[in-house]
Amino acid sequence: MFNKIIRPRRLRISENMRALVRETNLSVKDLVYPIFVVPGKNVREEISSMPNCYHLSVDNAVELAKKISALGIPAVEIFGLPEYKDEIGSGAWDMNSPVQCAISAIKKAVPELLIVGDVCLCQYTSHGHCGKLCGNYVDNDETLKLLQNVAVSQAQAGADIIAPSDMMDGRVAAIRAALDENNFSNVVIMSYAVKYASGFYGPFRDAADSAPQFGDRKQYQMDYANSREALKEVFLDISEGADIIMVKPALAYLDIVSKVRAEINNPVAVYNVSGEYAMVKAAAQNGWIDEKRIVLESLTSMKRAGADIIITYHALDAANWL
Ligand code: PBG
């Protein structure tokens, strides 16, 4: 009767055997590294809630971009803190803002490195919401016009990929039209199609000084209790012209990643966000977990769920480990 035992352990017998049958392989080519640019020169200040992530002036961002590219990471995503904020976030499309300057300087220094521009207004508005206000409500259609300005200005600076993260309705179509009209028909749109109103963005809002000054983002970002609605958002964005679909955050939403993967043929990206990063860093600093193991296991789980692209603050470490 014992010779009837089926033995899955045979295929786990050695590292080479496991490698031979491994279903998912994490590669440095899957990763996108987010960077935060600030005004000034020679600035390099650690972000307190995101250990080993820095506020960088454009000159230092360029130096980091060279290192990122040398490690084989194919893309960076640029976030910025502006010199000024106003009611409509006009710093977001100012060609002299840190983001636009960083995009063009990095493109010049490391032309092969892909640059993703995050298109949103919350870092640039005095009230911290992701669009133009009408009373306490973010006016959807008025905001679309502003987002078009941001997308075109980033493409002008040299962005290869435009990533709208504002969650206004119709923004992908509006941005696609504006890019095409301005001769940027080859600029890719990676839509934050499924972006939940999440507590995991906390450290980023400190880093980007983008917390809403009143209320929250629940009137535009998604309710984390919903998953059918995720597919609705995905299909809308694809029909409006999105090339790549993103789910955000990552770890608490791998069921969503897997559902989206099963339904579409576009590449799927996940954003392993600031709160997810901060939790790993804090536990690692306390010696409670083995950081390398946890990071590689988590990133692999995102791929296993169906992601092709992982935007992560762990990208530099992961690239060194892989
Ligand atoms: C801008 C934006 C946010 C993040 C990316 N783009 C914050 C937010 O929506 O409040 C979060 C990224 C992270 O937490 O790492 N809207």
Stated length of the chain: 322
Over residues 267-279, the pLDDT tens digits come to: 999 999 999 999 9
Catalytic residue status for 292: no
Catalytic residue status for 132: no
Q: Give the mean pLDDT of the chain.
A: 96
| Pocket of ligand 1 contains residue 159 by CB under 6 Å | no
Q: Using a pLDDT cut of 90, give the percent of the chain over it.
A: 94
| Pocket of ligand 1 contains residue 273 by CB under 6 Å | yes
**C-beta of residue 272 within 8 angstroms of C-beta of residue 249:** yes
Over residues 44-103, the pLDDT tens digits come to: 999 999 999 999 999 999 999 999 999 999 999 999 999 999 999 999 999 999 999 999
Indicate if the pLDDT at residue 216 is higher than 70. Answer: yes
| Pocket of ligand 1 contains residue 204 by CB under 6 Å | yes
The pTM of the full predicted model, rounded to 2 decimals, is 0.96
Within 8 A by CB and 6+ apart from 40, the residues are 57
Nearest CA to ligand 1 atom 14: 201
**C-beta of residue 110 within 8 angstroms of C-beta of residue 69:** yes
Angle between helices 228-240 and 254-263 (to 10 degrees): 50
pLDDT for 3 = 74
Nearest CA to ligand 1 atom 7: 201
Indicate if the pLDDT at residue 1 is higher than 80. Answer: no
The token pair that represents 160 in the structure block? 């290869």
pLDDT for 206 = 86
Report the Cα–Cα distance between both ends of the chain, in Å, rounded.
44
Res. 2 pLDDT band, cuts 50 70 90: low
Indicate if the pLDDT at residue 282 is higher than 80. Answer: yes
